[in-house]
Chains A and B, each alone.
Chain A
Amino acid sequence: MKTKDNNIMRKTLIRSGLIAVLAVGLFTQSCTKLDEELYSEVTPDNFFKTQEEFISALGAAYTAFGNYGTGDIQNIIECSSDEAVYPTRGQDWDDGGTQRRAHLHAYGVEDSYIRGTWEFGFGGVNTANRLIYQFTSLVESKQVEQAVADAYVAELQTVRGFFYWQLVDLFGNVPLVTDFAKAEAAPKTTPRKDVYAFIIGDLEAAVPKLTKNVDGTTYGRMNYYAGQTLLAKLYLNAQVYSGTAQWDKVITACDEVINSGKYSLESDYFANFNVNNSGSKEFIFAIPYDQVFFQGFNLAVRTLHYGSQDTYKLTAQPWNGFCTLEEFYNSYDNADLRKGDAGTLVSPATKRGNFIAGYQYKASGGFVMDDGFEKPNLTRTPAPLLGDPDGAKLNLGNIGSGQPQINELGPQAYRQSGVRVGKWEIAIGSKPDAMSNDVAVFRYADVLLMKAEALFRKGNTAGALTLVNQIRLRAGVSALTTLDGKLSYDLEATPAAGNGYELFNEIGREMFAENHRRQDLVRWGLYNDIAKWALPFYNPGDVIKTGAYLTILPLHKDNLASNPNLVQNPGY
C-alpha cells in the first residue's frame, strides 16, 4: 500500500512537474519571445499566414499614405504654386526661410520638406516592396495559393505605383527599387522616362487584377477604378515624364471609371469635405483620417488664426500659417458655391466655402479679437507697414479694407493677412491637429476634368466643355462657352486663342488644396510664371528662381550622402 501510494505520488509529482516545466517554459517564452517586425531582415518566421493577417499586413501599405494630407509633400506641392503660401509673420513661420523658398522656387538641398517628401515616396515604395516579397515568398513555399496572393500583390503594385508616381513627378530621376530582398546597396539613379515606363508597365499588368467592388471592403484601398485613375494621372502627365503625350490613354482610363456607373458627382460639393464624408459617391480612393485611430490631417491647426480657436472651440490653438493667394481667391465668381462668403461687420459668413475670409466671430458670439494685431510702422524700409487695417477685430485677408489680402511674403506679413482654407469642415470642439475628415486622393470630379483636358488637347473642345460644365453646374456658376480665357494670376495679359486657360482655372477652383496645382502648372508649362504670382518679399537673401530645371526638386544632401551612386538633379 505504501509502495503503491509512493508510486502514485511519484507519478503525480512527475506529471505535476511536467506541467510546471511546461508552464515555466511557456512563461519563459513569453519573457523572451520577439515577434517584432524586423525591417532589415524579413524572414519567413515573421510572415503572415491567414486571410486576416493578409488584410492586416496590407494596412502597413496604406498607413504610408498618412502624410499625404498635410505633410511635407503637400507643403511643396501647394506652396510652390499660385494657390497657397505660408507668409512669414515676424517670428512666426520664418523657419530659416524654408517656407519662403518654396513660394519663390528657391528650394535647396537642405530644406527639410525635400527630405520629408523623399521619405514619403520611398517609405511607401519600400513597404509595398516588403509586402510583395512576403506574399510571393509564401507562394513559392506553397503556403499560399497563387490566385490568393495575386490579388494582394496586384494591389500592392498599385500602391507602389502611386508612390513611384509621386517620386517621378517631384524628383524626376530616382533609383528604381522593386525587389525588397535583392535591393542593391547603392543603386544608381534611373532616368525619369525609364521610371515612368516601369510604373506604367507595372500598373498595366496589375490593375486588371484588382477587384471591381466598390463597397466597405474596398474603401480606402486601391480597387480597379483607383488603379485606372492612377493610370490616367500618369498618362495625363506623360509628356512631362517621358516626352510623349498619351491623351488617348487618358480618355480610355477615365472612361473605365466614368462608364462603370459606380461613381458620380455629389450634388453638394462639400459632401466630399465634411467630417463625415466617407459615403461620398465621388471618392475613388480616400485616406480615412481619424482624430484617434489615424491621425495626420492637421490642416486646421496650420491654416487658422490663433483666435480662430474661439470660433470653433478647438482643443488647441492654431498656428496662423497656410493661406491662399488673392488672385486665386478672386478667380472664383462670387456666385460660385465653392467660394463661400466672407464674414462682415454685421454677421459671420453664412455660406461655407473653400475659404475662411473676413471678420471672424466667436462661437459664443461677438468678434474674435486679435490683441497682437500688426500695428502701423510707416518708417519701415523698404516698404512701410500699414498694419492690420481693422486693428484687433480679426478680419482674415483684411477683406473690404482696400489693402492687399497679404501685404508681403516676409519678413512682416500682417497677422491677419491671407484668406484661410476652409474646404474641409472644421468640427466645433475638434482637435485641429488631428481632423477626422477623410481626404480624397482620387475623386470623380478630377476624372471628369482629366478627360476634359485630354479631349481639349486632342481638339475636341466641345466634348471638354460638356464635362467642365458638369463641374460648373454643381458649383452654381454659368456654363462656359469657350475654354479660352486669362490666367487667374495674370489678368493683364491677353493670351493667344486656343489657350484653354479657363479649363486650367477651373481645375484650380475645383481641386484647390488637393495636392494638384503644382503638377497642373508644370504640365501646362506655367510653372515658371512664378514672378506673376509671387508676393512682395523683403527678407535679405530671398530671391525668385526661374528655369526649367526647377520643375523637379533637388535631392536632399543627406540622401545624396548616403548613396554615392545617386546623381543630383541638373541645376542644383
Chain B
Amino acid sequence: MKKTLLLLVALMIIGFYFTGCSPKTKYDRRLKHELASGVRADSLFMGFYFGMPDKDFYTRCWELNKKGLIKQGGNNTTVEYEIRNELRYPCVMNFYPSFVKGKISEMPVRFVYSGWAPWNKELTSDKLQIDILNWYKKSFGDEFIEVEHPEKGKAFVDISGNRRISIFKEDELHVWAVFTDMLVKQEKPDSSKFGTNPIDNLKDLK
C-alpha cells in the first residue's frame, strides 16, 4: 500500500513535470497540434506572405516605397516603416525576410520607439514588447503563450497553422517580432538576416 502510494505520487510528480503546463511543453504541444492541423497561415503584413517569391517581394517594396510608406531602413540592411498610430508611441519597424529557394520563409521585424532615449523609461523595450503584443493580438488572435528564455527573458509566442510569431527583447531599445514558416523551418535559409531566434532554443528555456 505504502509503496503503491509513493509510486503513484512519484508518477504524478513526473507527470506534472513532463506533461503539465510548463511553457516549453505547452509550446511543444501547441506546435505539434498546429502543424498537424494542416491549416496554412501565410499572411504577414503589408501584403507580404510566406512563400512570396523574392522578385515579388522587391516589387511590393518598390510599390510601397513609391507611395512613401516604406524606405531604406537603419544600418542599410532593412526596410523601414514608421508606425505612427498603432502603438502607444511612434515607433519604427525594420524588416527584411529570409528566403528559402527564393521564397519568403521567415520575416524578422525589429521595433524601436522612435523617440527612445535613456531618460525616457516609458519608451524602453519591456514597455514596447507589451505594446506590440497587444497590437498583434488584435491582428493575429489572442492566443499568444508566454515563455521565458534564460538570456532574452520573457517572450511571447503564437502558433497558428504553419505560422509562428515570436516576440522578444534584444536590449533596452529593441524588440523583435519574428514570423517563421514552421513547415520550412528545417530547411536552411538562403540568408538569415538577424541570427538565431531564441525561440528556436526552447531546450534552453527555464
A431–B77 Cα distance when bound, in Å, is 14
Q: Whose C-beta in chain B lies nearest to the C-beta of A187?
A: B119
A311-344 CB contacts (< 8 Å) to partner B: 315-316, 321
Q: Which of A24, A34, A187, A433 contacts B77 (CB 8 A)?
A: A433
CB pair B16–A24 under 8 Å, yes or no, is yes
With A126-B172, A559-B115 already in contact, 7 other A-B pairs whose C-beta atoms are closer than 8 Å:
A13-B5, A91-B62, A112-B71, A130-B172, A180-B118, A301-B77, A433-B193
A sample of 27 cross-chain residue pairs with beta-carbon separation below 8 angstroms, ordered by A number, consists of A17-B9, A20-B9, A23-B13, A27-B20, A27-B21, A30-B22, A31-B23, A33-B206, A37-B153, A39-B125, A60-B171, A70-B75, A75-B75, A112-B74, A119-B112, A123-B171, A126-B118, A175-B117, A185-B120, A302-B76, A302-B77, A431-B192, A433-B193, A558-B90, A559-B115, A561-B115, A562-B123
When A9-B2, A27-B17, A433-B193 are in contact, do A40 and B118 touch as well, CB less than 8 Å? no
When A177-B118, A185-B120, A295-B194 are in contact, do A20 and B148 touch as well, CB less than 8 Å? no
Q: Which of A40, A96, A115, A185 contacts B71 (CB 8 A)?
A: A96
Q: Whose C-beta in chain A lies nearest to the C-beta of B191?
A: A316
B80 contacts chain A at the CB level, 8 A cutoff: yes
A547–B60 Cα distance when bound, in Å, is 40
A175–B120 Cα distance when bound, in Å, is 12
When A9-B5, A315-B190 are in contact, do A27 and B118 touch as well, CB less than 8 Å? no
CB pair B117–A16 under 8 Å, yes or no, is no
Query: Which B residues are in CB contact (< 8 Å) with A146?
Result: none
Query: Which B residues are in CB contact (< 8 Å) with A16?
Result: 5-6, 9
A290–B126 Cα distance when bound, in Å, is 27
When A20-B9, A39-B126, A75-B76 are in contact, do A63 and B171 touch as well, CB less than 8 Å? yes
CB distance from B43 to the nearest CB of A (A): 25
Query: Which B residues are in CB contact (< 8 Å) with A563?
Result: 115, 117, 119-120
Q: Whose C-beta in chain A lies nearest to the C-beta of B98?
A: A316
Residue count of chain A within 8 Å CB distance of chain B: 75
Query: Which B residues are in CB contact (< 8 Å) with A321?
Result: 76
Residues of A within 8 A of B (CB): 5, 8-9, 12-13, 16-17, 19-20, 23-24, 27, 30-31, 33-41, 60, 63-64, 67, 70-72, 75, 86, 91, 93, 95-96, 98-99, 112-113, 115-116, 119, 122-123, 125-127, 129-130, 175, 177, 180, 183-187, 292-293, 295, 298, 301-302, 315-316, 321, 431, 433-434, 558-559, 561-563
Query: Which A residues are in CB contact (< 8 Å) with B21?
Result: 27, 31
CB pair A36–B148 under 8 Å, yes or no, is yes
B37 contacts chain A at the CB level, 8 A cutoff: no
B173 contacts chain A at the CB level, 8 A cutoff: yes
Query: Which A residues are in CB contact (< 8 Å) with B17?
Result: 23, 27
CB pair B5–A186 under 8 Å, yes or no, is no
Interface band, chain B: 35 or more
Against A, the Cβ 8 Å flags (1 = close, 0 = not) of B73-90 are 111110010000000001
A186–B5 Cα distance when bound, in Å, is 64
CB pair B75–A116 under 8 Å, yes or no, is yes
Query: Which A residues are in CB contact (< 8 Å) with B119?
Result: 175, 177, 183-187, 563
B57 contacts chain A at the CB level, 8 A cutoff: no
B123-138 CB contacts (< 8 Å) to partner A: 123-127
Top-3 shortest CB links A-B = A562-B115, A36-B153, A95-B72
CB pair A34–B118 under 8 Å, yes or no, is no
